[in-house]
Every structure is written in C-alpha cells, then in structure tokens.
Amino acid sequence: MPTLHYFLFVLIGLTAGVLSGMFGIGGGLIMVPAMGFMGIDFKTATGTSLAAQLLPFSILGVIQYYKNGDVIIPGALLLVCGLFVGAFFGAKLTISLPDIVVKRAFGIFCLIISAKYLLAR
C-alpha cells in the first residue's frame, strides 16, 4: 500500500469519527465514498469500512451523549439486534449484486437522506 494511502486512511477515519460523533451517522457513509475516491472498488471499500467499525470506535461519543441523558439504552439494544441480522443479509446481498447496482443504490440512498435534511423545517 502506498505511503499516501496510510495518511488518507487515517484522515478518512478521523473525518468519519468526527461526523459520526456530531450527527450519529454511520462511518460507512463517509468512509466508503472516500475510499472510492482513492480508487478502491465499492465492495472492498464496504468490507474495509465494516472491518474498521468492528472495534467500539464510537464508545467515547456514546459516553458523552449518555452523560447528557441523550441515549435510550433499551432502544439502542433493540437497534443492535436489527443491525446484527441486517448486516449479515445486507453483506450477502451486496456481494451478489454487480458493482454498478450497489453504487447506484448507495447514491439514491444518499440523495434521499440529503433531501430529507435539506428540505426539513
């Protein structure tokens, strides 16, 4: 891996961590497209992003929100149940689809989320 990639991976992780802590977004929303700009194919970027998120990288952010009373523990535990099953099936589906289909689906997802927040009152 080129030396520049080491720096870019750290920069991408830092950016994803800050935005995740600020907005509660999954780091993959930042990391996957950023790795795409580095020339990494979509499926490899997705797998790398998931691997990076195996560690409890958001624990420090969670602690801050918890101290402020902004965490619904039972809700978070229920989300984990859905994420556990959903991540498995989502990965199987993504691996089975052509890259262009996955890229377009991701793009549409990002547009829908963007529109929701841009048009919010």
pLDDT at 93: 92
pTM of the model: 0.72
Q: What angle do CA 118, 40, 1 make, to 5 degrees?
A: 130
13 with 3: CB under 8 angstroms? no
pLDDT at 100: 94
**Separation between Cα atoms, residue 12 and residue 16, nearest integer Å:** 6
Taking 50 as the pLDDT cut, the residues of the chain under it are: none
Q: pLDDT for 59-68, tens place per residue?
A: 888 888 999 9
